[in-house]
Amino acid sequence: MIGALSEQEVSIPAGSILLEGNLVLPRSCRAVVIFGHGSGSSRHSPRNRFVAGILQEAGIGTLLFDLLSAGEDAVYANRFLVLPDGLAPETVRKEPKAVELVRDFFMTGKAVAAICHGPQILITAGLLKGRRATCYRTVAVELKAAGALYEDKEVVVDGNLITSRRPSDLPAFMRETMKMIHSAAYKAKAA
């Protein structure tokens, strides 16, 4: 990474396990986007490194880590996509390959969870018409214009879509995301 101030391997404690990750902080870093990988790829995949590289070139730090063990990741039903907050969605939505990836996940019934500004990527992909969703308050007008049924709630679940408004909603957001991932109905549908 050209101009990187810091690039290091990190371990994130999660209960009785450690999640392994890669943290890159570019010079004059404005924000950090966290990628929790559990979608059939790892922090080492070329696709994930490509998206992280785009963000790093824009002065945004990245933390890529794996949520699933290699054994868990081998089960196709465990795959899901989380769209982050911050400056990342505005950058990611400009990348056709990233938008196509999101569209593919969504259209095949995989779980897609988006928080704060994350729904902007779903808007660009044309996936929210008629769907119940929420987002950060400054994105609400754009969400409604895309045909979504906006709800000002900490978390909204509509089929395979989970959305939340802001970082303070993370407990509800993660509760519903994990509930969907571990549900028998989701695993059967995703297989």
pLDDT for res 148: 97
What SS3 state is found at 183? coil
Say yes or no: 171 and 135 in one domain. Answer: yes
Query: Residue 8, Cβ neighbours under 10 Å: how many?
Result: 10
CA-based end-to-end distance of the chain? 37
Say yes or no: 165 and 110 in one domain. Answer: yes
Rounded to an integer, the average pLDDT of 128-140 is 96
Say yes or no: 86 and 69 in one domain. Answer: no
Say yes or no: 121 and 52 in one domain. Answer: no
Confidence band (pLDDT; 50, 70, 90) for 187? low
Q: Domain of 182? A: 81-191
Q: Which residue, of 27, 53, 74, is where some domain finishes?
A: 74
Q: Which residue, of 74, 101, 128, is where some domain finishes?
A: 74
pLDDT for res 68: 67
Confidence band (pLDDT; 50, 70, 90) for 35? confident
Say yes or no: 116 and 178 in one domain. Answer: yes
Q: Which residue, of 22, 54, 74, is where some domain finishes?
A: 74
Q: Looking up tokens 């996509």, which residue turns up?
A: 81
Lowest mean pLDDT among 21-35, 120-134, 176-190: 176-190
Confidence band (pLDDT; 50, 70, 90) for 4? low
- Residue 113 CB contacts under 8 Å (≥ 6 apart), including other chains: 80, 81, 82, 83, 161, 162, 163, 173, 176, 177, 180
CA separation, residue 129 to residues 52, 118, 156, 166 (Å): 29, 16, 15, 22
Say yes or no: 52 and 146 in one domain. Answer: no
Say yes or no: 51 and 98 in one domain. Answer: no
pLDDT for res 1: 43
Specify the pTM. Answer: 0.62
CA atoms of 173 and 167, how far apart (whole Å): 9
Say yes or no: 63 and 86 in one domain. Answer: no
Percentage of the chain with pLDDT > 70? 82
- Residue 52 CB contacts under 8 Å (≥ 6 apart), including other chains: 24, 33, 35, 62, 64
Rounded to an integer, the average pLDDT of 55-73 is 76
Say yes or no: 133 and 164 in one domain. Answer: yes
Say yes or no: 189 and 156 in one domain. Answer: yes
Say yes or no: 10 and 62 in one domain. Answer: yes
| 50: enclosing H helix or E strand | helix 46-57
Say yes or no: 68 and 87 in one domain. Answer: no
Rounded to an integer, the average pLDDT of 61-77 is 69
Rounded to an integer, the average pLDDT of 108-118 is 88
CA separation, residue 67 to residues 35, 118, 157 (Å): 10, 19, 21
Question: pLDDT: is 86 or 24 the higher one?
Answer: 24
Annotated catalytic residues are: 116-117
Count of the separate structural domains present in the chain: 2
* 164-173 pLDDT tens trace: 999 899 889 8
What CATH number has the domain bearing residue 139?
3.40.50.880
